[in-house]
Amino acid sequence: MQLTINNRRITTEKGKTLLEACREADIFVPTLCYDERLESYGGCRLCLVEIQGVARPLAACTTPAEEGMTVLTESETLTRLRKTTLSLILSNHPNDCMCCDNAGDCALQELAYLYDVKPGRYEGERWDLPIREDNPFITFEPNKCISCSRCTRICNDVVMAGTIEMTGRGFYTMPDTAFNKPRSLKNCEFCGQCVSTCPTGALTDKKGRHKGRSHDVTKVKTTCSYCGTGCNFYLHVKDKKVIKVSSDYEAPVNQGNLCIKGRYGYDFIHSPERLKTPLIKKDGVFHEATWDEALEFVATKFRELIAKHGPEKVGGFSSSRCTNEENYLLSKWVRCAVGSNNVDNCARV
Ligand code: FES
């Protein structure tokens, strides 16, 4: 299917939206309520585009691309509309980018900068609600919420936890738990998916707050070590310390989605109880050893066991927390070095 966007001939598949067609062609369209993990919602109206023969601009995220369409993603009219929408959002926003944890990683801040929109164009009532810190993992600053509903949609449609929903009406619309109860393990999985999709600093990871912003950290891509799924994510490292985990939307395995362990279970990295050297137990007491000493000790014990009982009495049981390569090596070692076919893995069943 072919259409024309910004005077360029674009080819896309039937069933794609205009926003998807633009993204495939590297054409920027501003969005706030869109997350490719979610069904399009059409709430923020930032992605409006002009379509030849259509009287009013339409939201690109909810409009299907059609054969022969002629579309403009930038025009004076669209810029004016986007500026007005952003001005309205900023009219009820703290605009405290100087001390906001999400500064530098905030879609609203980026778009206000891009369209040169400053606070103050519209005056009126503003939210002045307390910060919610009523759970161990997620901080909610309602004053920064722009009611895009990405958090409630990801909670309901992707996680299927149903922890939060849009509550209230009109000016008082707000994502919240049923009966405004604090989040706890009874009503929330603490997967942080809501935090991952929030386009502003309304939902943030409590553990990483005020420890460093996006420009302060080095992002290191890694694979979760908690189970065999192999989810990818980014560790945010500052001063050699991991201060936060964020989603990797390109990861084929998890596409930006994570569970509580992947997103918040990183304290073990810097735990003082973590073993840093091998230990050998002598007379019931562990003693620190070098790797050479430890490997020689283990090899000697295995040789003794095999000589005494035969190789078939030895087996290797590997873990899905290890990489494929490590599991392969264990299998190779048991089969070739030990001479046994007793190899298994906890993920086999
Ligand atoms: Fe299309 Fe928000 S991204 S309306």
CA of 43 to the centre of ligand 1 (A): 6
pLDDT of residue 324: 84
Which among 37, 40, 150 is the best mutation to test ligand 1's pocket, defined by most ligand atoms within 8 Å of the CB? Answer: 40
Cα–Cα distance measured from residue 188 to residue 324, given in angstroms and rounded to the nearest whole number: 32
CA of 107 to the centre of ligand 1 (A): 12
22 lines ligand 1 (CB under 6 A): no
- Give the position, in ligand 1's atom list, of the atom nearest the Cα of 44: 2
Helices (H), the chain: 18-24, 76-90, 107-114, 150-153, 193-197, 260-264, 291-309, 324-332
pLDDT of residue 345: 87
pLDDT of residue 227: 85
- Give the position, in ligand 1's atom list, of the atom nearest the Cα of 42: 4
Which among 28, 29, 35, 41 is the best mutation to test ligand 1's pocket, defined by most ligand atoms within 8 Å of the CB? Answer: 41
pLDDT of residue 243: 96
pLDDT of residue 349: 58
Domain 124-270 = CATH 3.30.70.20: yes
- Give the position, in ligand 1's atom list, of the atom nearest the Cα of 31: 3
* CB distance 60 to 27 below 8 Å: no
CA of 153 to the centre of ligand 1 (A): 14
Alpha carbons within 13 angstroms on the beta-carbon side of residue 106 total 24
Tell me the two tokens of residue 226.
């908690």
Distances (CA, A) of 112 to 79, 90, 100, 109, 124: 12, 9, 15, 5, 19
CA of 245 to the centre of ligand 1 (A): 26
Domain 2-74 = CATH 3.10.20.740: yes
Give the number of other Cβ atoms within 10 Å of residue 299's Cβ.
11
pLDDT of residue 230: 87
Amino acid at 231: C
CA of 59 to the centre of ligand 1 (A): 6
pLDDT in tens, the chain (349 residues): 999 999 999 999 999 999 999 999 999 999 999 999 999 999 999 999 999 999 999 999 999 999 999 999 999 999 999 999 999 999 999 999 999 999 999 999 999 999 999 999 999 999 999 999 999 999 999 999 999 999 999 999 999 999 999 999 999 999 999 999 999 999 999 999 999 999 999 999 999 999 999 999 999 999 998 888 889 999 999 999 999 999 999 999 999 999 999 999 999 999 999 999 999 999 999 999 999 999 999 999 999 999 999 999 999 999 888 888 899 999 999 999 999 999 998 877 5
* Angle (nearest 5°) at CA 59 between 58 and 62: 115
Burial 21-54 (b: 16+ CB within 10 A, else e): bbbeeebebbbbbbbebbebbbbbbbbbbbbeee
pLDDT in tens, 3-40: 999 999 999 999 999 999 999 999 999 999 999 999 99
CA of 39 to the centre of ligand 1 (A): 11
CA of 128 to the centre of ligand 1 (A): 26
pTM summary value: 0.87
Name the residue among 252, 248, 250 with its Cα closest to residue 235: 248
59 lines ligand 1 (CB under 6 A): yes
43 lines ligand 1 (CB under 6 A): yes
Residue nearest to atom 4 of ligand 1 (CA): 42
pLDDT of residue 54: 97
CA of 22 to the centre of ligand 1 (A): 13
Which among 35, 46, 153, 200 is the best mutation to test ligand 1's pocket, defined by most ligand atoms within 8 Å of the CB? Answer: 46
Q: Would you give the distance in Å from CA 270 to the centre of its chain?
A: 22
